[in-house]
Structure 1
Amino acid sequence: MKQIIINLVSNAVAYTPENGTVKVDVEESPHEVLFTVADNGIGIPAKEIERVFERFYRVDKARSRHSGGTGLGLSIVKHLTEQLGGRIEVASVEGEGTTFSIHLPKTK
């Protein structure tokens, strides 16, 4: 779980301008725990959303050079989330920001 949060927060910080906002939230329901990481950064183009969890995929090569990523972080997040029996969702508007939501089942 620690690696999931570190990767999502690192991405949010990398793609949010100085003085921007990164928000981490946790909600609990009877059957699941929901973790969200939201930012008001550069966002992800709609045509790229489906591919952000692919290994080595980087949305924009110029942006990626600036942030220094390898294109593995979100792939790792998805894999770890699924290993925990959960799922990940992403909502983004280019120029407005991105929200990643991790849904994990509660365990006894």
Structure 2
Amino acid sequence: MKNWLFLGAAIVAEVVATSSLKASVGFTRFWPSVIVVIGYAVAFYFLALTLKAIPVGIAYAIWAGLGIVLITLIGWLVFGQKLDPAGLLGMGLIVAGVVVINLFSKGNVH
């Protein structure tokens, strides 16, 4: 169970770091840039802990898939970016893929 918590922490840290990357305006703003560096360091640390027990393909699929969806939602809510039907469909397919991997992959560890 703790490995899934580690993966959750990695996802949250990555989402915070990526959101701050947008806010850093090309690393020209100090505090958002600091958050980027710390956020990615924390994300990779917890991803490394996760990989002690969860297969890399499964962990990365969940990390990347949920990260994409969360960052897209933050882009929409915080940065005013538009979501069109194709983008929504694509995110739905990403979520479906993560669910399929978790439910049906023989390499999955619960």
- Bigger Rg, which one: 2
The bucket for the TM-score relative to the shorter chain is under 0.3
Which of structures 1 and 2 has the larger relative contact order (alpha carbons within 8 angstroms, sep 6+)?
Answer: 1
Q: Which has the higher strand share?
A: 1
- TM-score of the superposition, structure 2-length normalised? 0.28
- TM-score of the superposition, structure 1-length normalised? 0.28
Q: Which has the higher helix share?
A: 2
